Amino acid sequence: MIRRLLVLITVCVAFMSFLAMPKALQAETAIPTPIAKNEYLRGTFELNRHLDGFEKPLLSRGEFVLSPQHGLIWKTTFPFPGVTVFAEGRIFTIDQNGNRNAMAKGTETRQFVTMISSVLSGNWDPLESQFDIIKKNLETTVWNVTLSPHSNSFVGNQIELITAQGNAFVQEVVITKPSSDHDVITFDGQTIEPVPLPSEFNDLFTNGTAE
């Protein structure tokens, strides 16, 4: 099951300890500060998946929304449109007709969602029971974090290493797997905005249609 989730979106890296998610507002600090419950984070992403046997990485792009109250929306716009919603204890996809397809639910799914949202937001505390965490400040406004899964971690046999780097926001996440495969995810255009969520995103958590 975990392998299927990692193929969907391997940011692993990113859900539900949303109440403690970082805010990334102050560029002068090397550690993101918490995002309030009445705010949400949004931005764009580019995922380069490096697979053994492929000369070039598989590229996808899109946008995401991370909400302490609701969860994570991962909306791919290139090369094929698609929406994956990470809510507390469940993960599902939404097609262009609004059909919802459950991907996973339960305890492991909740841990996976916690991991994804924590890595995306730069909130490492919820991951301490599953990972060895090394934090470094490369410059005054640049930080680097390395996460090595414990042997008994729920992703211990799927992920070898996660590294994240950023300043006020998480800018890059690299996920290395036991094979030679690895994913590089870069983020851009991130902003913290007040609730309510735009209807195009809020509806996806309930009964909306992916646009």
Overall average pLDDT of the 150-165 stretch: 85
What DSSP designation does 178 have?
S
Query: Percent of the chain beyond pLDDT 70?
Result: 80
Whether the per-residue pLDDT at 40 is higher than 80: the answer is yes
> In terms of pLDDT, which residue wins out, 24 or 113?
113
What pLDDT score was predicted for residue 110? 73
Whether the per-residue pLDDT at 26 is higher than 50: the answer is no
Over the stretch 108-152, which tens digit does the pLDDT of each residue have? 777 777 777 778 777 778 788 888 999 887 666 788 899 999 988
Query: Percent of the chain beyond pLDDT 90?
Result: 32
Q: How many CB atoms lie within 10 A of CB 101?
A: 10
Whether the per-residue pLDDT at 78 is higher than 50: the answer is yes
Residues sharing a CB contact under 8 Å with residue 41, sequence separation 6 or more, in sequence order:
21, 23, 24, 35, 65, 66, 67, 120, 121, 169, 190, 191, 192, 193
Which two structure tokens, joined as six digits, stand for 120?
A: 């995306």
131 has which bridge partners? 149
187 falls in which pLDDT band (50, 70, 90)? Answer: very high
What pLDDT score was predicted for residue 53? 87
Give the Cα separation of 131 and 139 in Å (integer).
24
What pLDDT score was predicted for residue 155? 79
Whether the per-residue pLDDT at 10 is higher than 60: the answer is no
32 falls in which pLDDT band (50, 70, 90)? Answer: low
Which two structure tokens, joined as six digits, stand for 58?
A: 């598989």
Residue count of the chain: 211
Write out the DSSP string of 81-134: -EEEEEETTEEEEE-TT--EEEEEESHHHHHHHHHHHHHHHT--GGGTTTEEEE
184 falls in which pLDDT band (50, 70, 90)? Answer: very high
Give the Cα separation of 29 and 137 in Å (integer).
10
Whether the per-residue pLDDT at 48 is higher than 90: the answer is yes
Over the stretch 102-113, which tens digit does the pLDDT of each residue have? 888 877 777 777
Residues sharing a CB contact under 8 Å with residue 10, sequence separation 6 or more, in sequence order:
47, 49, 175, 183, 185
Give the Cα separation of 103 and 84 in Å (integer).
9
Helix (H) / strand (E) containing 46: strand 39-50
What pLDDT score was predicted for residue 59? 97
